[in-house]
């Protein structure tokens, strides 16, 4: 339940009520809210006098729901950019899977500038499935990303792998990426709830939509209203492609949640050959953003080499997107 409280209610009474209802206190401007489990269906009589409005839910998709807030959230991405809201924009995010070297990230940033794309991706803490694979440049990588942001006015997105380096990622990045494998890391979710920087949660490949939105609820109820969801493919019986991009799930997110949604065709497909068609399908879904892996020399990439596009192929793909976006009332920015 989400309860809006009257302005006359004293702080001490708010704290008492939140404790009794096992809820979180949130402030939205001057409005104070208490958010409890959705199992609570009515307010105890002793608290009724302080309640302005209450909303009952059938599941713990609450702050993220359209029932609570009809309009998609508008989220500031730094350097004058936003995602979501009613702009009709589909924000393109591109860059390599991992930050590998000064030259590689410099060439990546320059490509974006040349194409008028504003958000650069690049992982510095990589959640690899083998300890013998490249694990990312860590802090050195964050600093390289930060340089590109300062030099070109880009916004940057980079992932946090575990709670040990979450503070560094928060410090350097514009958008915190919580990876598919990190979606359940409560150290990360807690830390992300305590700041206001935007957080993009990638759906775990074995996670239901309910679980994914509930991961967002951890951050929202912690006090950070700036959460974006990313569908990047789930694991099914199919093994010819890397994952299965759940576009039905995207339709659900758009219908029932107020969170901007980004689609990641690169990780879903896993192979270069399918990325262009899949990206056009993603644009046709009328989503708030796209995130695509692009590398100056994909064959030499230290992670996700098979799925990254080279610069020429990415440009060719990009040039085909505008009519698809127009057909669904959007524009790529
Ligand atoms: C990535 O974006 O490079 C990545 C590791 O993605 P995911 O968490 O979706 O596997
Ligand atoms: Mn990757």
Q: Which ligand is nearest to the CA of 268?
A: 1
What pLDDT is recorded for position 127?
92
Q: Is the CB of 232 under 6 A from ligand 1?
A: yes
> Given the structure tokens 């879903």, which residue do they identify?
268
- Counting from 1 in the atom list of ligand 1, the atom nearest the Cα of 123 is 3
Tell the residue nearest (CA) to atom 9 of ligand 1: 180
135 CA distance to ligand 2 centroid (A)? 12
Most ligand 1 atoms within 8 A of CB, residue of 94, 96, 97 to mutate: 97
Q: How far apart are CA 87 and CA 331, in angstroms?
A: 9
| Other residues' Cβ atoms within 10 Å of the Cβ of residue 161 | 24
Select from 64, 185, 174 the least CA-distant residue to 127: 185
Strands 2-5, 51-55: pairing kind:
antiparallel
Domain boundaries, the chain: 2-55, 74-332
Q: Is the CB of 179 under 6 A from ligand 1?
A: yes
Q: How far apart are CA 58 and CA 41, in angstroms?
A: 9
- Counting from 1 in the atom list of ligand 1, the atom nearest the Cα of 126 is 5
Q: How far apart are CA 119 and CA 153, in angstroms?
A: 9
Q: Which CATH architecture has domain 74-332?
A: Alpha-Beta Barrel (3.20)
What pLDDT is recorded for position 326?
98
Select from 104, 80, 155 the least CA-distant residue to 308: 104
Most ligand 1 atoms within 8 A of CB, residue of 96, 98, 123, 243 to mutate: 123
Q: pLDDT truncated to tens, each residue of the chain (333 aa)?
A: 999 999 999 999 999 999 999 999 999 889 999 999 999 999 999 999 999 999 999 999 999 999 999 999 999 999 999 999 999 999 999 999 999 999 999 999 999 999 999 999 999 999 999 999 999 999 999 999 999 999 999 999 999 999 999 999 999 999 999 999 999 999 999 999 999 999 999 999 999 999 999 999 999 999 999 999 999 999 999 999 999 999 999 999 999 999 999 999 999 999 999 999 999 999 999 999 999 999 999 999 999 999 999 999 999 999 999 999 999 999 999
308 CA distance to ligand 2 centroid (A)? 8
Radius of gyration of the chain (CA): 20
Q: Is the CB of 295 under 6 A from ligand 1?
A: no
**Residues sharing a CB contact under 8 Å with residue 243, sequence separation 6 or more, in sequence order:** 205, 232, 233, 234, 235, 236, 267, 268, 269, 270
Query: How many Å separate Cα 152 from the centre of its chain?
Result: 23
What pLDDT is recorded for position 28?
87
Strands 289-293, 89-95: pairing kind:
parallel
167 within 8 A of 143, measured Cβ to Cβ: no
- Counting from 1 in the atom list of ligand 1, the atom nearest the Cα of 291 is 2
Q: Is the CB of 81 under 6 A from ligand 1?
A: no
Compute the residue count for the chain: 333
How far the first Cα of the chain sits from its last, in Å, is 37
What residues pair up with 119 in beta bridges, in sequence order? 93, 155
Q: Is the CB of 97 under 6 A from ligand 1?
A: yes
What residues pair up with 27 in beta bridges, in sequence order? 32
- Counting from 1 in the atom list of ligand 1, the atom nearest the Cα of 232 is 9
Query: Is 256 strand, coil or helix?
Result: helix
175 within 8 A of 200, measured Cβ to Cβ: yes
Q: Which ligand is nearest to the CA of 159?
A: 1
56 CA distance to ligand 1 centroid (A)? 35
Query: Is 197 strand, coil or helix?
Result: coil
Most ligand 1 atoms within 8 A of CB, residue of 96, 212, 232 to mutate: 232
Q: Is the CB of 228 under 6 A from ligand 1?
A: no
- Counting from 1 in the atom list of ligand 1, the atom nearest the Cα of 177 is 2
Strands 155-160, 31-35: pairing kind:
unpaired
């Amino acid at each position: 339940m989400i309860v809006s409280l009257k302005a006359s209610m004293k702080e001490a009474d708010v704290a008492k009520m939140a404790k009794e209802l096992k809820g979180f206190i949130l402030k939205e401007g001057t409005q104070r809210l208490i958010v409890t489990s959705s199992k609570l269906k009515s307010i105890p009589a002793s608290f009724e006098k302080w309640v302005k409005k209450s909303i009952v839910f059938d599941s713990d998709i609450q702050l993220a729901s359209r029932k609570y807030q009809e309009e998609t959230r508008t989220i500031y991405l730094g350097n004058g950019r936003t995602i979501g809201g009613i702009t009709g924009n589909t924000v393109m995010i591109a860059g390599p899977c991992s930050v590998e070297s000064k030259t590689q990230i410099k060439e990546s940033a320059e490509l974006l500038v040349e194409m008028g794309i504003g958000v650069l991706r690049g992982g510095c803490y990589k959640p690899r499935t083998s300890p013998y694979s490249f694990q990312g440049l860590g802090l050195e990588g964050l600093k390289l990303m930060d340089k590109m942001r300062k030099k070109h006015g880009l916004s940057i997105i980079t992932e946090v792998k575990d709670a040990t380096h979450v503070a560094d990622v928060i410090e350097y990045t514009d958008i915190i990426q919580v990876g598919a494998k990190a979606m359940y890391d409560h150290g990360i979710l807690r830390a992300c709830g305590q700041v206001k920087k935007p957080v993009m949660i990638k759906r775990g490949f074995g996670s239901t939509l309910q679980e994914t939105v509930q991961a967002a609820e951890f951050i929202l109820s912690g006090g950070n209203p700036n959460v974006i969801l990313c569908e990047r493919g789930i694991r099914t019986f199919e093994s010819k492609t890397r994952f299965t991009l759940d576009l039905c799930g995207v339709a659900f997110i758009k219908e029932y949640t107020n969170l901007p949604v980004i689609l990641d065709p690169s990780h879903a497909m896993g192979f270069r050959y399918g990325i262009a068609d899949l990206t056009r399908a993603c644009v046709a879904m009328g989503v708030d953003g796209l995130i695509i892996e692009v590398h100056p020399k994909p064959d030499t990439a230290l992670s996700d080499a098979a799925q990254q596009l080279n610069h020429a192929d990415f440009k060719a793909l990009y040039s085909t997107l505008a009519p698809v976006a127009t057909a669904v009332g959007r524009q790529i920015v």
